[in-house]
Amino acid sequence: MNDQYTNNQFTNNNDEEPKVENALVPIDGDQKKKKKRFAGKNVFAKKTGAMMAVGLVLSGACGFGGGMLASSLGGNNKSVMYQSVERTSTNSNETSNSGAMTTQQIAESAGNSVVEIKTETVTKDSRLQQAVSEGAGSGVIVTNDGYVVTNNHVIDGASKITVTLKSGQSYEAKLVGTDATSDVALLKIDANDLQPAVMGDSDKLSVGETVVAIGNPLGELGGTVTDGIVSALNREITIDGDTMNLLQTNAAINPGNSGGGLFNEYGELVGIVDAKSTGTGVEGLGFAIPINDVKTVVESLSQNGYVKGRPSLGVSLVDVNSAETAMQYRVSEMGVYVAKVADSSGASAAGIQSGDMIVSVDGTAVSSAADVKTAIKSHQVGDTVKIEVQRGGSMLTLNATLGEETPTTNN
């Protein structure tokens, strides 16, 4: 199955392609989208799907990303130490008296580890006047000394991040590192003696197993608890060119839940809520990043501020796939266009320019940013790729050496 998704809202009208959009809801009620990834109210609850490519790919997906905080990313050169427990058995066929908790017990056990996140983002309008937009999401405390995991799309571009504990105490957070590809971000607050989530093992989950989601729906209902089951494992989806394997659940997930926790029947963290699907005739479709995948990313973020070793062409791309977008970008042909080229990148050195339409990568035709990103991800840092572009009616073949993806030079 290869469907089309964009970030966190799923629509399935008869005359529309299915899509998932981020439910980032502007707190001030502004209904404009924030940086493409966010739709609705600037409260977060991101991606969704079952092997899906994005209908609308924003420049952030293959671009420079980061915002004001990204310039200070560098990691802490410190490993994150998680809290875990040993259980005598993980057999999913055991009866309910084998140590499994009730929903109430899970909420009491894990509730203090889930936090509210609010962001402020400074933007400039066409007259270069500054405006501040606010957003909200969720996060999970993973160490007692203040490390918090959330989604990249929750904090993307933020100039200020505030974390509020269940007790009501708030802290300004530092962005330790972030990764758009996995949609994971690591924050640090100056606090001690916190209650971290107990880490579970997402590889041991079974379809039908009870799970509980805890988060901050609508950006103002922190600590909300919903329950359900694991509906499916390893749902492969592609959003903004990034393919992920997610857990699927029917636990109610709403805008603002993004970055919150998905807990198993033992109160252990098994996923970070990442997406929901909504729309006519669509119910009970929520998705979470498996915690085993999150832990791998967080370790790299804590050490380096980003995930090392990912290849990058160094361009920001935009899909032109309708007459409306063609008029918006003043082009006459459908395709994938270069919106920006990062300084000192492989693309810049190869002579790729803003406005070029990318036609093929290594001889394989591409028609979307997702196609380009998939082609680049099949290589390693240092590889040379052949990029064919159309510029001013002429076809050019350029050779670009791939650099390393960082928060300021994504693909």
Average pLDDT over residues 252-280: 87
Per-residue pLDDT tens for 116-164?
A: 999 998 877 667 777 888 889 999 999 999 999 999 999 998 999 999 9
Could you read off the pLDDT of 340-385 as tens digits, one per residue?
Answer: 999 999 999 999 999 999 999 999 999 999 899 889 989 999 999 9
Q: DSSP assignment, residue 154?
A: H
Q: What is the pLDDT, as a whole number, of residue 26?
A: 42
The residue among 21 and 379 whose pLDDT is bigger is 379
> Mean pLDDT over residues 227-231, rounded?
93
Number of H helices, E strands in the chain: 8, 25
**Mean pLDDT for the chain?**
78
CA distance 183 to 150: 8
Pick the CATH number of 311-404 from 2.60.120.10, 3.30.565.10, 2.30.42.10, 3.90.1150.10: 2.30.42.10
**Cα–Cα distances in Å, from 248 out to 101, 273, 350?**
21, 10, 42
Tokens 């259980």 belong to which residue? 87
**Dihedral angle sign, alpha carbons of residues 375, 58, 129, 41:** negative
What is the predicted pLDDT for the residue at 222? 83
CA dist 240 and 339 (Å) reads 15
**Domain residues of the chain, as ranges?**
1-81+100-305, 311-404
pLDDT number for residue 72: 45
Model confidence over 278-304: pLDDT tens digits?
A: 566 666 788 999 999 999 999 999 999
Strands (E) located in 253-374: 261-264, 269-276, 286-290, 311-312, 315-320, 335-341, 357-361, 364-365
User: What is residue 90's predicted lDDT score, i.e. its pLDDT?
Assistant: 44
Structure tokens of 52? 């899906």
pLDDT computed for residue 106 by the predictor: 94
Q: What is the mean pLDDT of residues 250-259?
A: 89
Taking the whole predicted model, whether its pTM rises above 0.85 is answered as: no
Q: Lowest mean pLDDT of 74-78, 210-214, 272-276, name the range.
A: 74-78
Q: How many CB atoms lie within 10 A of CB 328?
A: 11
Tokens of 93: 């066929």
In tens, the pLDDT along 77-95 reads: 555 656 655 554 444 444 3
Q: Percent of the chain beyond pLDDT 90?
A: 53
Residues recorded for the chain: 411
pLDDT above 70 coverage of the chain, percent: 71
For 218: left if phi > 0, alpha if psi spans -120 to 50, otherwise beta; the answer is left
Q: What is the spatial distance between Cα 411 and Cα 186, in angstroms, rounded to a whole number?
A: 21
Q: Quick one: pLDDT band at residue 64, thresholds 50, 70, 90?
A: very low
When mean pLDDT is compared across 57-61, 62-66, 101-105, 130-134, the lowest value belongs to 57-61
Q: What does the pLDDT look like over 180-193, one tens digit per residue?
A: 889 999 999 999 99
Residue 173 DSSP label: P
**Amino acid 83: pLDDT:** 63
Question: Is pLDDT of 58 > 50?
Answer: no
Q: Given this model, what pLDDT does residue 12 score?
A: 36
* Predicted pLDDT at 81: 59
Q: Residue 238 pLDDT > 80, yes or no?
A: no
Q: Looking at the annotation, which residues are catalytic? A: 153, 183, 258
pLDDT at 208: 94
Q: What is the Cα–Cα distance from 411 to 395, expressed in whole angstroms?
A: 22
pLDDT for 85 equals: 54
Band of pLDDT at residue 30, cut at 50, 70 and 90: very low
List of residues 6+ apart from 361 with CB closer than 8 A: 371, 372, 375, 376, 385, 386, 387, 388
> Matching CATH topology for 1-81+100-305 and 311-404?
no
- The CATH class given to the 1-81+100-305 domain equals mainly beta
Q: What is the mean pLDDT of residues 305-314?
A: 92
**Could you say which DSSP state residue 217 is in?**
G
Measure the CA angle with vertex 194, ends 189 and 198; round to 5°.
110
Tokens of 122: 């400074």
In sequence order, the β-bridge partners of residue 210 are 229
- Asked whether residue 2 carries a pLDDT value surpassing 60, the answer given is no
